[in-house]
Structure 1
Amino acid sequence: MHFNRLLAAGMFALAAGGLHAQDLSQVCHASSSYDLTLQQGQLVFDRAQPAPMRVVIASGTLRTDGQVVPLNTEDQDRLSLFQRELLALVPRVKAVINHGVDVAVQAMQQEADGLNLDAQTRTELQRRLAAHAADLHQRVAASQSTHDWHGDTADQYANQVASDIAPLIASALGQQALNAAMSGDLQQAAALRDQAADLTTGFQSRLQQRLQVLRPEIQALCPSLQRLAELQDGLRASHGRPLNLLEMGR
């Protein structure tokens, strides 16, 4: 189901890449080999291999790789419940993502506050962070598929954010270091260089600690994922293979 991919991507996009956030596979031990797309009145699961490679659930009906799967009344009811409960879970997952974005933005702002940046740089940084946060919130709200959050896509967005924000901070710190050096305060110049280095190497670990606040919210999703796994348990594709849309580990 790759909600974990969506969750991780959303939370590290504003952290300038490299953040390995807690996700559903780590906290709830939930995983899937499928991507999920929400379409009008139906759920579409797809993967490259093995079969079934495309599973469509719509109002108690099941199609796998283009073939209609005959279902008894009990299985139809289970699929209807599966569809309804999964759709109810999606906004809850998105809410955790949005909270993660806000935590990341606040963390970046607090890191910047500790650098004693000039007022103009602080104002511009706040503007850029707010713009990126609003954009990411909008992307999360509009997303109807985990295909939107594949690794390359998330990495590209993170790099885009980093290329917009990092030079702004680096330029301000560089100017401060240059001014200190020219005034003969080599100790201050060295301290500024150390601050810049720590921002590069230490921020990710500090952000991961901040994101621990999300753990209870992620844990609250686990019972719903377990319920989905139970509802799809035993359902089979047209060729008799188990669907295994969602797998729960221990």
Structure 2
Amino acid sequence: MTSRLLVFAIATCLAGGVAAQDLGTTCKVASTYDLTVRPDSLVFERADAAPRSVRMQDGSLTTDGRAVSLRPDEQDRVALFERNVRALVPKAKAIANDGVDLAARAVRDEAATAAPGAVGSGELDRVLNARVADIKRRIAASQSTRDWQEDAMRAYAQEIVSDVAPILTQDVGGEAMALAMDGDLQGAAALRDRVASVSTGGQARVMARLEAALKPRIQALCPSIRQLGDLQSGLHDATGRPLLLLEPGA
């Protein structure tokens, strides 16, 4: 994503596939920075413009390795900015975890339509549960919004779809072969197409379900995101330029 929404990165952990542009319009806040939430500090990083690195730690501010001189009231605002970001993280991860569960259920529904035998055997649920547990562990351990953005969540959804595709193919393989041997080539092809649609179109359908389910929860965090924009107002980097970790959205 060329313009990374902090409302998307912090507030959603990329939990729903909601378009960044849509949330930018809703929350009126955008960011070009990636954020790493460390135990002792917040670190904002980007590659395309200075300051490329911004660090907040207990009311102190450093940009591109240089300490910024702050008045007491500015120190308070930096400390509050950091505290508010940290308060958003567990809310964001909760949405992300729910997003993973919803994605798995959506994929299971896709699979049940394409190959009901795979669901009945229990193998599909075993694979889905293992993948969900793995993704949730990664989200829980993650400190960086690079793991929380829309592209990351889409990748997680694709991992789920990719896990189940071989199971579906195997499940319908025997049935399709039997139909073909009986001369019903059209029926065999239809079975294979039904399974292929889970891999090719399943991700889009899964993300659409996630968007509908999670978008209201994501938007509910917009006031907190906009408050972060208010807190940065008047802050400057070490060279005296206005600090714009968040910028007005479209």
Scaled to the shorter chain, the TM-score interval is 0.7 to 0.9
Counterpart residue number, 1:33: 32
Preserved contact between residue 43 and residue 58 of structure 1 (Cα < 8 Å):
yes
**1:242 is aligned with what amino acid?**
P
Structure 2: distance between partners of 1:125 and 1:147: 29
Structure 2 vs 1, CA of residues 171 and 121 (structure 1 numbering), >3 Å: closer, same or farther?
A: farther
- Residues 1:188 and 2:187 are matched in the alignment: yes
Structure 1: distance between partners of 2:154 and 2:119: 29
- Residues 1:89 and 2:88 are matched in the alignment: yes
Seq. identity, %: 45
Structure 1: distance between partners of 2:9 and 2:165: 25
Structure 1: distance between partners of 2:31 and 2:219: 18
Q: Residue by residue, what CA displacement relative to the aligned partner does 1:115-152 show, whole Å, maximum 9, x if unpaired? A: 34325874111111111111111111111112445788
Greater shift after overlay, 205-214 or 181-190? Answer: 181-190
Preserved contact between residue 37 and residue 146 of structure 1 (Cα < 8 Å):
yes
Per-residue deviation, 1:204: 3.4
Structure 1: distance between partners of 2:219 and 2:149: 23
**1:131 is aligned with what amino acid?**
A
**2:245 is aligned with what amino acid?**
L
Counterpart residue number, 1:123: 122
Preserved contact between residue 34 and residue 46 of structure 1 (Cα < 8 Å):
yes
Counterpart residue number, 1:61: 60
Preserved contact between residue 2 and residue 36 of structure 1 (Cα < 8 Å):
no
Q: Residue by residue, what CA displacement relative to the aligned partner does 1:172-231 show, whole Å, maximum 9, x if unpaired? A: 223221112223444532431342243344423432331211111011111110000110
**1:177 is aligned with what amino acid?**
A
Per-residue deviation, 1:97: 1.2
Per-residue deviation, 1:38: 1.4
Per-residue deviation, 1:5: 4.9
Per-residue deviation, 1:60: 1.1
Structure 2 vs 1, CA of residues 164 and 200 (structure 1 numbering), >3 Å: closer, same or farther?
A: closer
Structure 2: distance between partners of 1:225 and 1:248: 11
Structure 2 vs 1, CA of residues 120 and 73 (structure 1 numbering), >3 Å: closer, same or farther?
A: closer
Preserved contact between residue 51 and residue 64 of structure 2 (Cα < 8 Å):
yes
Task: State the TM-score, normalizing by the size of structure 2.
Answer: 0.84
Preserved contact between residue 60 and residue 77 of structure 1 (Cα < 8 Å):
yes
**1:192 is aligned with what amino acid?**
L
Counterpart residue number, 1:234: 234
- Report SS of the residue matched to 1:63: strand
Counterpart residue number, 2:202: 203
Structure 2 vs 1, CA of residues 201 and 96 (structure 1 numbering), >3 Å: closer, same or farther?
A: same
The CA RMSD over aligned residues, in Å, is 2.7
Moved over 6 A (4+): 150-156
Task: State the TM-score, normalizing by the size of structure 1.
Answer: 0.84
Preserved contact between residue 8 and residue 23 of structure 1 (Cα < 8 Å):
no
After TM superposition, the structure 1 = structure 2 runs for residues 54-203 of structure 1, keeping only pairs within 5 Å, are 54-118=53-117, 122-148=121-147, 160-203=159-202
Structure 1: distance between partners of 2:156 and 2:176: 30
Tell me, which stretches of 5 or more residues in structure 2 are unaligned?
A: none
Structure 2 vs 1, CA of residues 140 and 180 (structure 1 numbering), >3 Å: closer, same or farther?
A: same
**1:99 is aligned with what amino acid?**
D
**1:85 is aligned with what amino acid?**
N
Per-residue deviation, 1:44: 1.0
